[in-house]
Structure 1
């Protein structure tokens, strides 16, 4: 029997979001209905509203979520009603060439629920990142549900579903930070500060935060940055080299995703150092670098999609580290809001006033 619940919908490009009645069908084969307890407001949700992802309006927004499985469809064995889960947007298939080679975090055939949630008039909704979690209950593929320790606060746990995991993974998985490494992170919003937290967790000896906003640099210090650079006032490459013995950082994470920040990352790394791009560029952006510099400097230029995470492996580990007091996930939660506060949260996000607003149901 389908259910009627409230959810936040983007009906048209650039228009304010609204809380609408949503029809959620019973879970079919391989699907689950999850009662959402908390969902972070991510920049990706704003990109959906602005038409920056695609034009498949209307969108059911929200994807950084945690909640409790309410019901499951046939053939679901990994989760059961009552399980506390974090939702992820990469339910791996287990049978593509990446999965069969033991690289499921690179799965080329991730999937979502096959059924569609709809408005009352039957209009099908496009769920953000295949989740749609600014809602009281949502329908997802069962593989998008990752069980974690239920003693963690939902408002904290849900943030691992996207931005925080992307940043942590950019440092720990893609960047492979080691003890005593030097690390620079460009862009100190949610993703960048998560990369800083990951570098600290791994034991990096020098962690340099780079941003144009002093408030964000203050946040970066709280997450473990040992030095800060305001690149509006100081040449970031020279500053990073000056803080690393003149060599540049072993790892530079670009959490902004613009040509100018990537060039800074490229030249701010040590010879044979690593650059990790985790900030999301728009399709119109172009990058020019002297090919001789790319060849002559060696090292690695990597992209990090979702922090190269495997949710079934990484989410429980990060929750456990948080519960041990080693990973301060609570610092990412700037405020908690209701469903009808999402539009205002977008405004605060654009002004740089919050790391994360979190919808709590």
Structure 2
């Protein structure tokens, strides 16, 4: 199969012909139909801890082409979205429902293997590593069954490919982590691929005011199309003052920080009312400090919590988001910024370095339909 292979740090991906072994027990072979190119893929490309060579890509959708022994959740022909957060299904966190906090599967993920510690990818006998147990920048992929979530048959796969990363994280930050309530006020800091979906989650939850906070005017305008009722350019206005002005002097009930900047988290805290909840989903630079006022901390009753992957439970949340889209309540079409072929993948990476490029959405790689030869020479068309 063809795949985009990371051959070095900060180097363009190379389109190569690679080999993919069949799925083992509890694994699924997926014919990729579409995959988004996420900024986290660029982070992996620039990260010297990423094993080389590897096939990147961690958000995608496709059709089940084969299943290994013991697989029961999907069957051949199912449309599936892939979850990049691995979980074992048996540890303390998994059995209590907090699958996003599973630690057991992260060792294999960081080592670039599947859950059993081995790889299904190779080229001319040389091992190639997996990325986030998915490696979606390829025509086919073998993934753990627990990474494979069945979707409705009518779900278009370019849109479905986005569900498993920024969409689920942003939606989950509002719905699962913050638990936004009807009639409440919500501020979202950082209007990118995650923040725009936090806005959607707040809208679907029935918030009365949704205030988008960013430094980029174009992103603030886009936010209005997804449900923001008000916007604040935090490079021009004091966020605390502006939020309180919009909420009768009290501050917002909920704040969701998707920016990854501690300054934004501090602004969100100050702009939130007593008893409010602040959810942080952006990844901080560990060299920075987060300064929350200590004086009177216990008196304000505020909650601050980190949320990994939007507290998402893929088997619950992916189908829900897909159905909301099919019902016309969740905007996914608008998040597909452009559709490209695998050969053009490096152009998508180049766009991350252009500050004028729209970053509220994804470039989506679509794979062409392919024919597979069966032993009896019949041909099966797998439609992407």
TM-score scaled by length of structure 1: 0.94
Q: Aligned equivalents of 1:238 and 1:70: distance in 2?
A: 55
Change (3 A) 1:293 1:22: farther
Q: Aligned equivalents of 1:266 and 1:9: distance in 2?
A: 42
1:95-114 to 2 correspondences below 5 Å: 95-110=90-105, 112-114=114-116
Q: Aligned equivalents of 1:326 and 1:290: distance in 2?
A: 39
Q: Aligned equivalents of 1:37 and 1:55: distance in 2?
A: 25
**1:245 CA drift (Å):** 1.1
Please say if residues 178 and 254 of structure 2, whose CA atoms lie closer than 8 Å, have aligned partners that are also in contact: yes
- Aligned partner of 2:371 in structure 1 is none
**1:116 CA drift (Å):** 1.0
Pick from 289, 308, 324: which aligns with 2:292?
A: 289
Pick from 316, 339, 342: which aligns with 1:339?
A: 342
CA offset digits 1:293-324 (Å, max 9, x no partner): 54343221111111111111111111011100
> Does residue 190 in structure 1 map to residue 185 in structure 2?
no
1:232-243 to 2 correspondences below 5 Å: 232-243=235-246
- Aligned partner of 1:58 in structure 2 is 53
- Aligned partner of 2:378 in structure 1 is none
CA offset digits 1:50-88 (Å, max 9, x no partner): 117x33222311111000011111111111111110001
Pick from 344, 358, 361: which aligns with 2:364?
A: 358
Please say if residues 59 and 84 of structure 2, whose CA atoms lie closer than 8 Å, have aligned partners that are also in contact: no
1:1-361 to 2 correspondences below 5 Å: 5-51=1-47, 54-110=49-105, 112-114=114-116, 115-292=118-295, 294-350=297-353, 351=355, 352-354=357-359, 355-361=361-367
Cα RMSD for the two superposed structures: 1.7
Please say if residues 32 and 139 of structure 1, whose CA atoms lie closer than 8 Å, have aligned partners that are also in contact: yes
Q: Aligned equivalents of 2:302 and 2:139: distance in 1?
A: 47
Unmatched tracts of structure 2, length 5 or more: 107-113, 368-384
Unmatched tracts of structure 1, length 5 or more: none
Q: Aligned equivalents of 1:260 and 1:62: distance in 2?
A: 30
Please say if residues 20 and 122 of structure 2, whose CA atoms lie closer than 8 Å, have aligned partners that are also in contact: no
**1:129 CA drift (Å):** 1.7
Change (3 A) 1:274 1:32: same
Please say if residues 163 and 190 of structure 1, whose CA atoms lie closer than 8 Å, have aligned partners that are also in contact: yes
SS where residue 190 of structure 1 aligns?
Answer: coil
Please say if residues 178 and 277 of structure 2, whose CA atoms lie closer than 8 Å, have aligned partners that are also in contact: yes
CA offset digits 1:131-171 (Å, max 9, x no partner): 11011001111111000102111111111111110000000
Change (3 A) 1:275 1:126: farther
Q: Aligned equivalents of 2:39 and 2:230: distance in 1?
A: 26
Structure 1 residues 194-203 or 276-285, which shifts more?
A: 276-285
Q: Aligned equivalents of 2:123 and 2:99: distance in 1?
A: 37
Q: Aligned equivalents of 1:341 and 1:238: distance in 2?
A: 45
Higher radius of gyration, 1 or 2: 2
SS where residue 71 of structure 1 aligns?
Answer: strand
Change (3 A) 1:294 1:62: farther
Change (3 A) 1:277 1:125: farther
Q: Aligned equivalents of 1:227 and 1:136: distance in 2?
A: 42
Q: Aligned equivalents of 2:97 and 2:80: distance in 1?
A: 24
TM-score scaled by length of structure 2: 0.88
Please say if residues 191 and 258 of structure 2, whose CA atoms lie closer than 8 Å, have aligned partners that are also in contact: yes
Q: Aligned equivalents of 1:285 and 1:342: distance in 2?
A: 33
